[in-house]
């Protein structure tokens, strides 16, 4: 067994000074069949540690139904990191931000009436203690002083940007230590004096999150952490994208020079991200700083290892920097190879009734419906003799498609701040609402989704509503959705890039695996298909389209297209 501690000026591994050179990988954003490959490539770049968040809502989307199997097998992920000879850092939150749905907090928790998130609150703290103890049952036996490889555990996440409840932080520490976590505990905040002061406690080691001006940021950090090693535990080497925006990249040489500045100062580092992965399914988060902007499906992040696990120019540039400060293996991963190109004919799926979910009375939110999928249908009768008028909705979260007597009339977008639409004469009103991604930070964390507030026509409130969840795996039974299906053959399992250019808005399955969302808003134009999702022989593809006629074919292309660049 080893020991890991914080000394006067360094991390100490078995009593000797040790520099952490880490990279972030989120196991829940990577197909488990690819974990070992990505971890190995981290070692080959010169990393000695892998860091991961833990996403509570991925493990427990429904209260009491905990899952740590398959792609959520944190223990197996940590064991694979250990098998590659690397240490691990675990950041369990419970809040993680990470451009991840609801900042990692489950919707059943954040919808609890009166709950106060990320502070001293009985309901919140009881739930998070149960969660943390489940995580620590996995982590504790894998600590370095228990014969494993976990060297650090983080308390909360950039808490100084949100609150300053020291009693809350103390309770997290109590639960953590009581669950037999013995390795050093850290916090992370941007190196702003007020954030560093608010976000930590005596006994917790402060680290910083930044991507430039290393010497300046480290000096600020040192003022608040007078002893021990300096560490940037989120070295931002890229950025994320949102629908309707550009694709963000950073110059590889510039990012490498910033990393060199950080390492030359003697600091430890965790590169955020080393490999970003994908917001598979509907797990993307959103930003809202006056305008709601949902995050795209790709979480490529312009990281050294791209979304498909291929080394980039940034990988090579970072490796050239790291070799100046640490031993780096001679082996270099192979460059990216073109993926198979093929075109697949698609046919409209036959309509069937499916096993429809029971309707609920009233204008019910996603939370009250206990629906973790992205679509809800609201239906009611229009007033007798209705000859047309203006439909007004308090707030749409996040996009609504409005139909009268089964005919699509138009849509309302939260991003565009739309609330009203003129209706023609008719007898029945149906509104399909899509939850496009939950805000992952600040005061909008945990907000309700659906139709919020009153729904009126010419100022008169409509009543008699029925609300029905619309499961994506039963999309062919939903009248508002168009579904196309196809079959394609592969000689062997392979990564693929599905080109969605010219499509409208919707979702794609390969087999029963939900790749994620596509949208003509861009910037993302291809969806990544991990090789373990495919198989030799026949493979099925299903496209669920909301806005346009279903495409006649699906085209797989040789390389990704994540959109026009913004550097």
Rounded Cα gap, residues 62 and 43, in angstroms: 36
Rounded Cα gap, residues 407 and 412, in angstroms: 15
Task: Indicate whether this model's pTM tops 0.85.
Answer: yes
In this prediction, residue 354 carries a pLDDT of 57
Note whether 308 and 495 are within 8 A (CB). yes
Each residue's pLDDT tens digit, 215-266: 999 999 999 999 999 999 999 999 999 999 999 999 999 999 999 999 999 9
CA dihedral 31, 37, 38, 42 (to 10 degrees): 170
DSSP for 51-99, please give it: EEE--HHHH-SSTT----SGGG-HHHHHHHHHHTT-EEEEE--S---TT
> CATH 2.60.120.260 residue ranges in the chain?
342-350+476-566, 360-470
Strand partners, 53: 91
Q: How far is CA 30 from the centre of its chain?
A: 11
**In 10 A of CB 491, how many CB atoms?**
8
In this prediction, residue 353 carries a pLDDT of 61
User: Of residues 234, 307, 434, 485, which has the active-site annotation?
Assistant: 234
Each residue's pLDDT tens digit, 375-421: 999 999 999 999 999 999 999 999 999 999 999 999 999 999 999 99
Each residue's pLDDT tens digit, 487-535: 999 999 999 999 999 999 999 999 999 999 999 999 999 999 999 999 9
Each residue's pLDDT tens digit, 445-504: 999 999 999 999 999 999 999 999 999 999 999 999 999 999 999 999 999 999 999 999
What superfamily would CATH give domain 360-470?
Galactose-binding domain-like (2.60.120.260)
Rounded Cα gap, residues 524 and 12, in angstroms: 44
In this prediction, residue 246 carries a pLDDT of 96
Residue 341, helix vs strand vs coil: coil
User: Across residues 334-357, what is the average pLDDT?
Assistant: 87
User: Of residues 51, 99, 158, 258, which has the active-site annotation?
Assistant: 158
Rounded Cα gap, residues 390 and 457, in angstroms: 5
pLDDT bucket at 356, cuts 50 / 70 / 90? low
In this prediction, residue 422 carries a pLDDT of 98
> CATH 3.20.20.80 residue ranges in the chain?
4-322
Mean pLDDT computed over every residue of the chain: 97
Active site residue 435: no
51 to each of 86, 92, 166, 398, 560, how far by Cα in Å?
A: 10, 11, 25, 33, 26
Radius of gyration of the chain (CA): 24
CATH 2.60.40.420 is the classification of domain 342-350+476-566 = no
Q: How far is CA 144 from the centre of its chain?
A: 28
In this prediction, residue 564 carries a pLDDT of 83
Give the N- to C-terminal CA distance of the chain in Å, as an integer.
Answer: 45
**In 10 A of CB 557, how many CB atoms?**
19
Maximum distance among all Cα pairs of the chain, rounded to whole angstroms? 83
Task: State which fold the 4-322 domain adopts.
Answer: TIM Barrel (3.20.20)
Each residue's pLDDT tens digit, 70-101: 999 999 999 999 999 999 999 999 999 999 99
pLDDT above 90 coverage of the chain, percent: 97
Exposure string over 130-154, b if 16+ CB within 10 A, otherwise e: ebbebbbebbbebbbebebbbbbbb
Rounded Cα gap, residues 294 and 79, in angstroms: 34
Active site residue 216: no
In this prediction, residue 36 carries a pLDDT of 98
Note whether 99 and 295 are within 8 A (CB). yes
Give the DSSP H or E segment for 186. strand 185-189
CA geometry: angle 51, 55, 56, nearest 5 deg:
140
Tell me which residue has tokens 């860091």: 51
pLDDT tops 70 at residue 567: no
E strands, 199-321, in order:
205-210, 231-236, 247-248, 268-275, 285-288, 292-294
């Amino acid at each position: 067994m080893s020991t890991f501690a914080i000394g006067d000026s360094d991390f100490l591994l078995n009593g000797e000074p040790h520099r952490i050179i880490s990279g972030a990988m989120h196991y829940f954003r990577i197909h488990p069949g690819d974990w070992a490959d990505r971890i190995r490539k981290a070692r080959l770049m010169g990393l000695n540690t892998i860091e991961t968040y833990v996403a509570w809502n991925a493990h427990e989307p429904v209260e009491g139904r905990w899952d740590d199997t398959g792609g959520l097998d944190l223990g197996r992920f940590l064991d694979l990191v250990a098998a590659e000879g690397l240490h691990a850092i675990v950041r369990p939150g419970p809040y993680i931000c990470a451009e991840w749905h609801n900042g990692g907090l489950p919707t059943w928790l954040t919808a609890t009436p009166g709950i106060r998130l990320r502070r001293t609150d009985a309901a919140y703290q009881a739930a998070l203690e149960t969660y943390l103890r489940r995580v620590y049952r996995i982590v504790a036996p894998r600590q370095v002083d228990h014969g494993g490889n976990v060297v650090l555990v983080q308390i909360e996440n950039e808490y100084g940007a949100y609150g300053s409840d020291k009693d809350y932080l103390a309770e997290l520490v109590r639960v953590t230590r009581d669950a037999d976590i013995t390795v050093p505990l850290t916090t992370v905040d941007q190196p702003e004096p007020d954030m560093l002061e608010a976000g930590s406690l005596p006994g917790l080691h402060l680290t910083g999150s930044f991507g430039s001006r290393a010497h300046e940021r480290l000096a600020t950090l040192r003022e608040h952490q007078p002893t021990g090693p300096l560490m940037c535990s989120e070295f931002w080497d890229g950025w994320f994208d949102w629908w309707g925006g550009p694709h963000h990249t950073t110059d590889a040489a510039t990012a490498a020079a910033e990393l060199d500045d950080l390492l030359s100062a003697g600091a430890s580092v965790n590169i955020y991200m080393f490999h970003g992965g994908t917001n598979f399914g509907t797990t993307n988060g959103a930003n809202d700083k006056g305008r709601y902007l949902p995050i795209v499906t790709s979480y490529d992040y312009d990281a050294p290892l791209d979304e498909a696990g291929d080394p980039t120019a940034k990988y090579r540039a970072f490796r050239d920097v790291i070799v100046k400060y640490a031993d780096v293996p001679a082996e270099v991963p192979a460059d990216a190879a073109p993926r198979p190109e093929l075109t697949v004919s698609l046919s409209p799926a036959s309509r069937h009734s499916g096993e429809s979910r029971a309707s609920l009375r009233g204008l019910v939110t996603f939370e009250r419906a206990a629906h973790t999928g992205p679509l809800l249908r609201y239906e009611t009768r229009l007033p007798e003799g209705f000859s047309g008028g203006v439909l007004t909705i308090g707030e749409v979260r996040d996009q609504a498609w409005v139909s009268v007597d089964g005919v699509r009339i138009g849509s309302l977008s939260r991003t565009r701040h739309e609330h009203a639409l003129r209706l023609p004469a008719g007898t029945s009103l149906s509104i399909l609402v899509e939850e496009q991604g939950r805000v992952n930070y600040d005061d909008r964390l945990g907000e309700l989704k659906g139709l919020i507030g009153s729904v009126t026509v010419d100022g008169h409130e409509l009543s008699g509503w029925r609300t029905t969840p619309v499961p994506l795996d039963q999309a062919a039974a939903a009248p508002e959705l168009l579904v196309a299906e196809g079959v394609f053959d592969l000689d062997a399992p392979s990564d693929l890039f599905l080109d969605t250019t010219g499509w409208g808005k919707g979702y794609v399955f390969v087999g029963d695996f939900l790749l994620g969302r596509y949208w003509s808003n861009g910037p993302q134009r291809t969806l990544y298909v991990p090789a373990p999702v495919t198989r030799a022989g026949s493979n099925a593809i299903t496209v669920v389209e909301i806005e346009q006629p279903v495409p006649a074919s699906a085209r797989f292309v040789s390389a990704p297209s994540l959109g026009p660049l913004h550097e």
